[in-house]
Chain A
Amino acid sequence: MKIKRLLRSIIGGEKRQAFIIPLLAIFCSLVVSALLLLSMGRNPFVAFQSILAGAGVLAKPNYAGGRGMVTDIMMTLAALTPMIFASLAVTVAFKGGLFNIGISGQMLFSGFLATILVGYSDLPSYVAIPLVLIVGAVAGALVGGLIGILKSKFNINEVVSSIMLNYIIMYVISFFILTRYVDSITRNSSAINASARLVFQNFMIGPYRAVLPVFIILAIGAAIAIKFFLDRTRMGFDLRTVGLNTQAARYLGISPQLNIMFAMTFSGALAGIAGVMHYLGYNDMIPPGSLSSIGFDAIAVALLGNLNPIGTIFAAALITVISQGTTYMSSVLDIQREIAQVITGLILLFSACGAFLRQLLSRTGERTE
């Protein structure tokens, strides 16, 4: 009882919980990661510092010619853009009571379609870029919608069907890339034309060369718009009601079937935009036979961001910094760069425990007050 009361005094009321519980999850996972690093004889503080430096948040001791902190931070922002969209996709599906684990597949599908339809064409930028975004959103929405139909009409668990679709999409696209669009040197798909790319390359900021990820603004705008949609519109209310209680939604005259399909289509469209931001922005080609880890990291981000679109921006920034900064850290500390995935996984684990903490505290509240 005492421990609970102590916890409660730290964490506070419901309003504060929204901030404190994710922070607690981050703290716990950093402690566990630090212990892990210590057990391997590495200094965890040096590790965390070099993660931040690698992502451009702190300065590195030295840089290659023409590169600076701004080069790294711009790269991090370019990687952050698809991450925000992917996490919004998780969030929207979650609010509708669905678990979209097929984001990686939807991203790959939209990225591939946009690459072959627009990326290889000679259209000027002002036509190509809007087209890429539209193709991406529609392609993602189609896959998401399919999962929604399978769920609402055929009662197929969306997790299972989206995993199956992930593999089908991955293999089929790998087949097309290897037979038609392969670059003979890199063994990836051939690079897209620069005019269709969503991240502007080789931009000079002062003396430093950097990329210019303009669509980060769109990502932040989308987060705000989705926050408004979920909290303030009729459709957003319907979607959340179905997510919270299907039975209650039915009594209110809200169709669960329709909303399931809508939520998955919407989520798929967001994932599709994430896909073009990743494959035609941060990258300019698609490696065959693999799915991006963004789709899975986005689940961690959405949970960490408390399923709040605004919180998602901050959570996405954290996870992106970790994954971007680890390459540098692994060279500084001579440790495998997969450690980034481990840290992300731990954050995910502790975020999943958040519900328990919240429940525990609300019960204590009832008893003590």
Chain B
Amino acid sequence: MDTVFIDGLSYGIPLLCIAIGGIYSERSGIINLALEGLLGMGAFTGSLFVAFFGGFFVQHSSVPMYFAFLFAMIGGALFAMLHGLLCVKLKANQVISGVVINILAIAFTGFFTRQLNSQVFGQPSDRINLGVSVRFDIPFLSDIPIIGAAFQRVYPFQLVIIAVVVLSWYLLYKTRFGMRLRACGDNPHAVDGAGISVAKTRFVAVMISGALAGLGGMSYAYSIAASFSPGIYMGTGYLAIAALIFGNWRIMPTVAACMLFGFARSGGQRLSHLLELPASYSDLIFTLPYVVTLLVLIFFSKSNKAPRALGEIYDKGKR
């Protein structure tokens, strides 16, 4: 039971980070299917830092890891500017732009990882090895029976992300910037009427989205994958989108959705372990998060309300 909690959280919390990135973008009115590519690009940037500068730090130091997270956020945000440019400035179709970004990110990161490995590090490989981050128990809290498991063997990034989540909740709901951002998604004309640039607000929202996706992607690179490789593109970005739709584009319900996906995954793995299924059955277990997502969407998609101006290109002259 404990492992279900521990693994579920270590998968669900980065997913939440990516989903909140999606919320920022979509509440500002920009459909963001690019999360998958953004999380990969972020993780790639962070891994690149470790590959080049990791050697300058004391061995087993966790300092490069924190730098990697910082760079992942920067990389994600910078790459998200491309999505912002296409959607806001160039008025491209937002769905197409998102998919283009994903394909481009997968191609770029895959190519450069291979090229760097063979040219700079002299070994043909498609991955940058990072190792797994240290884990620790939170004192006192982890001793509580049952729910204490949630505080055992915690990755440091989980705490970082929780802090980021609280911060982004505050930013979105309690500040003037957040209010304007949400207004951009519901009634951009009103925002424009108030003398605030819709384009700028949306652009910033997309960049925040990229930074959060990058942070989430880097967390996977430091936990489940233990490396950066094309294997990081396992549809997490799309799961995050499903989670935020399920969560009705609001942060708190999305937290619940992400935890559900996390526990579906870890619960399935635990179940196959308990039933002593042969290794080939793991393929079937892997489908669980996707099946749960589809089912959840079937039951909840109809009743929920997307931001009213979601996906619409803002045109000043249009009424």
A342–B107 touching, CB < 8 Å: yes
B201 within 8 A of A: no
A308 within 8 A of B: no
Query: Which segment of A68-76, A150-158, A311-319 sits at the interface?
Result: A150-158
Query: Which segment of A48-56, A173-181, A239-247, A268-276 sits at the interface?
Result: A173-181
B235 within 8 A of A: yes
Query: Which segment of B128-136, B157-165, B168-176, B290-298 sits at the interface?
Result: B290-298
Query: Which segment of B108-116, B181-189, B248-256 sits at the interface?
Result: B108-116
B74-123 at interface with A (beta carbon < 8 Å): 86, 90-93, 95-97, 99-100, 103-104, 106-108, 110-111, 114-115, 118
B284–A352 touching, CB < 8 Å: no
Q: What does the 1/0 interface line of A266-308 toward B look like (CB < 8 Å)?
A: 0000000000000000000000010000001001100100000
- Interface residue range, chain B: 35 or more
Query: What distance in Å separates the Cβ of A363 from its nearest Cβ neighbour in chain B?
Result: 11
Distance in angstroms between the alpha carbons of A150 and B302 in the assembled complex: 10
What residues of chain B lie closer than 8 Å to A116, measured between beta carbons?
Answer: none
Query: What distance in Å separates the Cβ of B83 from its nearest Cβ neighbour in chain A?
Result: 11
A57 within 8 A of B: no
Q: Which listed residue, B111, B281, B284, B298, touches A156 by the CB 8 Å rule? A: B298
- SS class, residues of chain B in contact with chain A: helix
Query: Which segment of B63-71, B137-145, B237-245 sits at the interface?
Result: B237-245
What residues of chain B lie closer than 8 Å to A335, measured between beta carbons?
Answer: 115
B197 within 8 A of A: no
Q: Which listed residue, B97, B104, B283, B297, touches A345 by the CB 8 Å rule? A: B104
What residues of chain A lie closer than 8 Å to B290, measured between beta carbons?
Answer: 164-165, 167-168
Query: Which segment of A120-128, A188-196, A203-211, A353-361 sits at the interface?
Result: A353-361
What residues of chain B lie closer than 8 Å to A154, measured between beta carbons?
Answer: 297-298, 301-302
B264 within 8 A of A: no
Q: Which residue of B lies closest to A180 (CB)?
A: B280
B107–A299 touching, CB < 8 Å: no
What are some 12 contacts across the A-B interface (CB < 8 A)?
A159-B238, A164-B293, A168-B294, A172-B284, A299-B103, A303-B96, A338-B115, A344-B107, A345-B100, A352-B100, A353-B90, A355-B90
- The 3 closest A-B CB pairs, nearest first, are A341-B107, A338-B111, A175-B283
Give the interface of B toward A (CB within 8 A).
33, 86, 90-93, 95-97, 99-100, 103-104, 106-108, 110-111, 114-115, 118, 234-235, 238, 241-242, 245, 280-281, 283-284, 286-287, 290-291, 293-294, 297-298, 301-302
> What 18 additional pairs, Cβ within 8 angstroms, besides A172-B283, A345-B100, A356-B90?
A154-B298, A155-B302, A160-B238, A160-B241, A160-B293, A161-B294, A164-B290, A165-B290, A175-B284, A178-B280, A335-B115, A336-B115, A339-B111, A342-B111, A345-B106, A348-B104, A352-B93, A355-B91
